[in-house]
Amino acid sequence: MDWYEPKFKSNETIENCNECGVCYYICPQTEPLIKLLDEQYSVKDKIGNIENVIAAKTTQEKIEEIGQDGGIVTTSLVYLFEKNLIDAAIVSLYDEELKPEPHIIFDKEELFKAAGTRYSISSQILPLKELYNLSLEIQEEKGIYDIDQLRIAFVGTPCQARAIRKMQYLSIKPAHVIKYLFSLFCFENFDYYKLYEILEKETNVPAENIKKTTIKKNFFVYTKQDEKHEVNIKKLDPAVRNHCHSCDEFTGRYADISVGSSGAPKGYSMIITRTSIGQDIVNLLLSSNYISQYIVPVNERQEWKQKKMNLFNRMVKLKK
Ligand SMILES: Cc1cc2nc3c(=O)[nH]c(=O)nc-3n(C[C@H](O)[C@H](O)[C@H](O)COP(=O)(O)OP(=O)(O)OC[C@H]3O[C@@H](n4cnc5c(N)ncnc54)[C@H](O)[C@@H]3O)c2cc1C
């Protein structure tokens, strides 16, 4: 791919594409590998396998300020870097007009520039191709002489997590270096230009003046001057990415860990662990006090988890 264009496809080479078909197989919206992935990741319904569901938030003051919700994703990645469990992470940085920029980062400090959510498309798969051009400096710093030694954490939306799992299933390199797969919950995503055009029309706030955006039923814009604007989420429909209309995901069922705010108490994130890899990280984050768990009131304990599952199921159904 050359950015979004299939660079190798031309009238002269179209036969190559017909014979190869890799794009088709790894596209998150195609069916052929789904049953196999479901088997591999014990997926039996639209929510997917669940080792555990908890609500938690970061204990790190700096991340509390910049995280979107409980700062769980950033804190997890900080932990993985600090304990030397990863060499790099694929995250979404952004420019001064909040335009997402997918990036592979090699340094924990860069994580602080990625914290928070930008509700528009960030093509998290693209940075994978940079792995074959690692600078000598990075290779020396990380002690890597072969790409196979790299250990990467990946953060993306459910469709992106699914594409990674499909690549891994087919042994398409370099997806094999992704050791930790984080999926954000995602109801829908927006085209950057259309989204900010509508937001400016509705609020009079240009993108460069926006500090943060959140979705809590409606869309909220927080400006750098600390003003708050509410935009009816329906007004943003024309900006919704077309593919989201036929997506049946919400929580990211093929990830190691899924993180979102839906169902979480204020300031917390919901965390769904799905694999032993995901569960191990959350156990370590809790036991080493990087995150703290929401204590469910005694009288709600029995039905708490079921209520969250019902909510996630409702969200998937709503999408359809
Ligand atoms: C398009 C979109 C729609 C979402 N919709 C919902 C929803 O309906 N319900 C819900 O509960 N949660 C939703 N989320 C997830 C939610 O906004 C938070 O990202 C999640 O709760 C994690 O919060 P945190 O504080 O732990 O993350 P933080 O510690 O703040 O880290 C956020 C991470 O998200 C990554 N990121 C930011 N923007 C993007 C992007 N556009 N694409 C890929 N990665 C990105 C950053 O690299 C960063 O690592 C959505 C996220 C996105 C990107």
**Which DSSP letter does residue 190 get?**
B
Helix (H) or strand (E) holding 309: helix 301-319
The first and second tokens of residue 24, run together, are 């088709």
Q: What is the pLDDT of residue 133?
A: 86
Share the mean pLDDT of the chain.
Answer: 94
CA of 227 to the centre of ligand 1 (A): 22
Write down the pTM of the prediction.
0.96
Task: Assess whether pLDDT exceeds 80 at residue 77.
Answer: yes
Residues paired with residue 212 on neighbouring β-strands, in sequence order = 222
Give me the mean pLDDT over the 238-248 stretch.
Answer: 93
Please indicate whether residue 68, judged by its CB atom, sits closer than 6 Å to ligand 1. Answer: yes
Task: Assess whether pLDDT exceeds 80 at residue 2.
Answer: no
Please indicate whether residue 159, judged by its CB atom, sits closer than 6 Å to ligand 1. Answer: no
pLDDT tens for each residue of 14-23: 777 777 888 8
Residue nearest to atom 35 of ligand 1 (CA): 92
Residue 263: strand, helix, or coil: coil
Q: What residues have CB less than 8 Å from 290, skipping those under 6 apart? A: 58, 59, 60, 75, 76, 78, 79, 284
Please indicate whether residue 258, judged by its CB atom, sits closer than 6 Å to ligand 1. Answer: no
What count of Cα atoms within 13 Å lies in the side-chain half-sphere of residue 178? 31
- Helix segments in 106-157, DSSP class H: 111-114, 136-142
CA of 185 to the centre of ligand 1 (A): 7
**Ligand 1 atom at minimal distance to the Cα of residue 118:** 38
pLDDT tens for each residue of 272-313: 999 999 999 999 999 999 999 999 999 998 899 999 999 999
Domains and CATH numbers, the chain: 14-128+147-184+249-319 (no CATH), 190-240 (3.10.450)
Q: How far apart are CA 248 and CA 187, in angstroms?
A: 9
Please indicate whether residue 285, judged by its CB atom, sits closer than 6 Å to ligand 1. Answer: no
With a pLDDT cut of 90, the percent of the chain lying above it is 85
Give me the mean pLDDT over the 82-87 stretch.
Answer: 97
pLDDT tens for each residue of 3-60: 666 666 777 777 777 778 888 899 999 999 999 999 999 999 999 999 999 999 999 9
- Of 64, 95, 117, 316, the one to substitute when testing ligand 1's pocket (max ligand atoms within 8 A of C-beta) is 117
Strand arrangement of the beta sheet that strand 218-223 belongs to: 210-216, 218-223, 228-231
Please indicate whether residue 161, judged by its CB atom, sits closer than 6 Å to ligand 1. Answer: no
The first and second tokens of residue 140, run together, are 């020396």
pLDDT tens for each residue of 128-168: 988 988 889 999 999 888 889 999 999 999 999 999 999 99
Q: What is the pLDDT of residue 3?
A: 62
pLDDT tens for each residue of 92-105: 999 999 999 999 99
